[in-house]
Amino acid sequence: MRQNFLKYGFSAALFALALVPLMAAAQGGAPSSLPTIGTTPTGLIGILCGLANWMFTFLVVLAVIFVIYAAFKYLTAGGEPENVGKASSMLIYAAVAIAVAILAKGFPLLIGNLMGAGFSAGCQ
């Protein structure tokens, strides 16, 4: 009984939290004109910069969580080779996440140079 209550209560809370942005968006009026972001090379670079920043932040946070969890796995492995191997692979995954995050930061600059937007089109 308690498990069902927790499962359904948690699901209902997540659903309600997912609706909060929609309720906030309903407070404003309709836009007077359509947005024109992304129609120029620098506008596209702006979109890619925002995406790269979000991806960088997400991957770094994910890597930190993986490192902490891998350390916990190492501490609780008790010398079992299987658990130590799992912890080692988690550390490798964390290193890959950091490498992909660093590549994500450079992706808008690469696209900007390929599109001819110039060197100054990189993210800040």
What share of the chain has pLDDT > 70, as a percent?
62
43: nearest Cα among 112, 101, 124: 112
Residue-wise pLDDT tens digits, 7-34: 677 777 767 666 666 666 666 665 566 5
Q: How would residue 82 be classed by pLDDT, with cut points 50, 70 and 90?
A: very high
Mean pLDDT of 72-78: 88
In the prediction, which pLDDT does 58 show?
A: 86
Mean pLDDT of 104-110: 75
Residue-wise pLDDT tens digits, 93-102: 888 888 888 8
Q: Taking a C-beta distance cutoff of 8 angstroms, is the pair 74, 87 a contact?
A: yes
| Calpha distance 44→110 (Å, rounded) | 12
DSSP string, 14-67: HHHHHHHHHHHHTTS---SS---TTSSHHHHHHHHHHHHHHHHHHHHHHHHHHH
Q: Taking a C-beta distance cutoff of 8 angstroms, is the pair 52, 104 a contact?
A: yes
Mean pLDDT of 63-89: 89
The pTM assigned to this predicted structure is 0.54
Mean pLDDT of 76-91: 89
What share of the chain has pLDDT > 90, as a percent?
4
